[in-house]
Amino acid sequence: MNIFSKLKDYNSELEEILDRKYFSSSVKNLLLSMIYKIENSYNDYETIKRVVRKKEEFLTELVETISKYCDNVKIVEPESKGSEILQKNKVLALTNEKERSLLAYPTENALLYAISDIVPKYFYIKNEVIFKKTIQDMLVEGYNTNNLEILVNFNGWSWDTKSKSIGKYINNLIYQNFLFLVGENFLKEWRNTSSNKIDYFSEIEDRINSLDKDNQFLIYMCKILYAKVNEKEKSQISIKLKEKSKELAKIKDKDKFLENMRNKKMKLTKVLQKIDLTLSDEKVLAKEFKKRNSKLDDDKKIGSIKIFLNMLIREREQTLAEFKEASDLSLPVNYLKYKAKLEKYESIYKNKEAIDKDIVEMEKCFLKLMEQKTLKATTNNEIIDIIYILRYLKNINVSKEYQIKDIPVLNKYIDKILKIAITRACKSGIIKIISMDINKNYEIIKFAIDSTIIDLEEIKVYLETEKDELTVKVYDKEIFEKEETQKFSGDKKDIEIKLKKMIKLFN
């Protein structure tokens, strides 16, 4: 098979689709250029990030989206009259799913963002989750920005960690956290599944609890989302959080709460008995039907006995659900869980911390989970993936100005996890042991890895010593990348590789 056959297939398929669309030649050329650039950069992107979709899957979705959901694509120059709405919303593009239309700046990046945005996304979350909409909005924006990364940070031969997108940094940060905690396949299934039978959000909670049952990652996430929503949404959320806070105040008296639950169960039992009697006796059913209708206005009367029967069945199901909830909360262990849940809501409602502090705390919680994943890694491939991911994490933007590595406490935590991973990699023979001094060994390997070299397994190191100094030079294959002089007070015999010779870092 010709190595370019896949590229030709995608281009040919897209060209056939574009022939059927009433797009301008500029739009068509940009779309073809977009596919070419993605194809050209994807292998590097996959190598660097590790947790990504397969290239064929990514490109197939893009081409299918253009075919199914893009009927009208308009591009506008920056600062032009037509771009006012894009400038106002501070976005690369805007989409209208109903009309299948896109408005974008004339760049491949803007069109990729628009195509990512217009594809249907579900991210089902139960209605009772107070932050349902804000979490869904975060996931949608995170997905769009995540897709955009392939063009923003990669150009076919290098990884540019300083590139900036118009994407919302915090939404992207949280999305990346989810991505590395639960994986691409999980998020893809969540995004594509319209059924409400699977509670993906609860599954994420369970996975977090399995790594660290006291972890507060999701609490800090909600604090951050609550702080950054618009005033209208914040007002709606505040009402619900205030109700939870009041409920917490009521249940703090455990004895009184349990007594209320007992009384509630007794009342619900009587309601159930009355409904069951009505359902089991036709005369009682007819009498109750007549009684109910006598209390209703003419335009609200129940149409028939059959409709009334179905109403009673639904009422019975609702009453049973309330009875079960009261019974469950009467158990000490469930009471404590419920109380803890309300306390979490109250902590969000009464939170006064600056959003920057909450972001740092959320990332500390996330890194604690990554540390557990690192300790649980069993295979060589898992350890290698973690080393790549930790390097990637350092370069995620938390704002326009700062990346994770610019925040000392987070950078230090990642280094702590990286040391665990590198030590295990050396013991497993994945990476060469450079020095018998564990700390010096880590310092040298960390310096070599902390680069924008695409393939870490192509790294070569060159060492030379002079008096109390050690010079470390790093190469990408044969191309010089960087060097550093470190203090060296040890014995040359502790160095396990030959000095003054380029040595491949990975075995």
What dihedral angle (degrees, nearest 10) is formed by the CA atoms of 415, 421, 424, 426?
-70
Q: Is the pLDDT of residue 6 over 50?
A: no
258-292 tens-digit pLDDT: 899 999 999 999 999 999 999 999 999 999 999 99
Q: Alpha-carbon distance 52 to 69, whole Å?
A: 23
Answer yes or no: is pLDDT of 55 > 70: yes
Residue 335 has pLDDT above 50, yes or no: yes
The tokens describing 332, both together, are 């000490």
**β-strand pairing of 101-104 with 72-75:** parallel
- In whole angstroms, how large is the CA radius of gyration of the chain? 29
Quote the pLDDT of residue 162.
79
pLDDT tens-digit readout, 201-259: 999 999 999 999 999 999 999 999 999 999 999 999 999 999 999 999 989 888 888 89
Neighbours of 162 (CB within 10 A): 9
Q: Which of 117, 66, 68, 63 is nearest to 92 (CA)?
A: 117
Which pTM was predicted? Answer: 0.88
* Alpha helices (H) along 295-428: 305-329, 332-349, 355-376, 380-394, 408-427
Sign of CA dihedral 49, 51, 53, 56: positive
Which residue from 437, 445, 439, 483 is spatially nearest to 464, judged by alpha carbons? 483
Where along the chain do its domains lie? 5-211, 220-349, 445-507
Residue 464's H or E segment, with its range, is strand 459-466
Residue 66 carries which side chain, given as an amino acid letter? I
Burial (CB count within 10 angstroms: exposed 0-12, middle 13-18, buried 19+), residue 304: exposed
Cβ–Cβ < 8 Å for 387, 421: yes
Which of 178, 92, 97 shows the shortest CA–CA distance to 136? 178
Alpha-carbon gap, residue 443 to 470, rounded angstroms: 11
Tokens representing 231 are: 């005033």
How far apart (Å, rounded) are the C-alpha atoms in residues 210 and 208? 5
pLDDT score at 8: 52
Q: Which residues are within 8 A (CB) of 210 and not within 5 positions of it... i.e. 6 or more apart?
A: none
- What is the pLDDT at residue 400? 85
What is the four-CA torsion angle of 18, 140, 413, 345, rounded to 10 degrees? 180
Over residues 410-442, the pLDDT tens digits come to 999 999 999 999 999 999 999 999 998 889 899
Using left for φ > 0, alpha for ψ between -120 and 50, and beta otherwise, residue 160 falls in beta
**What's the average model confidence in pLDDT over 496-505?**
92
Question: What is the pLDDT at residue 77?
Answer: 94
**Per-residue pLDDT reduced to its tens digit, 316-327:** 999 999 999 999
Task: Give yes or no for a contact between 344 and 220, defined as CB atoms under 8 angstroms apart.
Answer: no
Helix (H), strand (E) at residue 45 = helix 25-49
CA-to-CA separations, 401 to 108, 164, 498, in angstroms, rounded: 24, 9, 41
| Backbone torsion region of residue 79, taken as left when φ is above 0, otherwise alpha when ψ lies between -120 and 50, otherwise beta | left
Q: Quickly state the pLDDT bin for 165 (edges 50, 70, 90).
A: low
Closest of 103, 139, 147 to residue 121, by C-alpha:
139
Enumerate the β-bridge partners of residue 461.
Answer: 474, 503
At residue 296, the 3 state secondary structure works out as: coil
Tell me the CB-side half-sphere exposure of residue 312, using CA atoms within 13 A: 24
Burial class (CB in 10 A: 0-12, 13-18, 19+), 221: buried
Q: Which amino acid is at 317?
A: E
Query: Among candidates 77, 71, 75, which has minimal Cα distance to 101?
Result: 71
pLDDT tens-digit readout, 338-350: 999 999 999 999 9
96-131 residue pLDDT tens: 999 999 999 999 999 999 999 999 999 999 998 999
Region 363-385: mean pLDDT is 96
Instruction: Report how far Cα 50 is from the mean position of its chain's Cα atoms.
Output: 15
Q: Which two tokens stand for residue 451?
A: 């680069």
* Residue for token pair 């909005």: 137
Tokens 């006064």 identify what position? 352
pLDDT tens by residue, 396-411: 999 888 999 999 999 9
Rounded to the nearest integer, the mean pLDDT of the chain is: 92
Whether residue 499 contacts residue 506, with contact meaning beta carbons closer than 8 Å, is answered with: no
Give residue 101's identity as a one-letter amino acid code: S
CA–CA gap between residue 401 and residue 398 (Å, rounded): 8
pLDDT of 129 reads 93
Does 11 have pLDDT greater than 90?
A: no
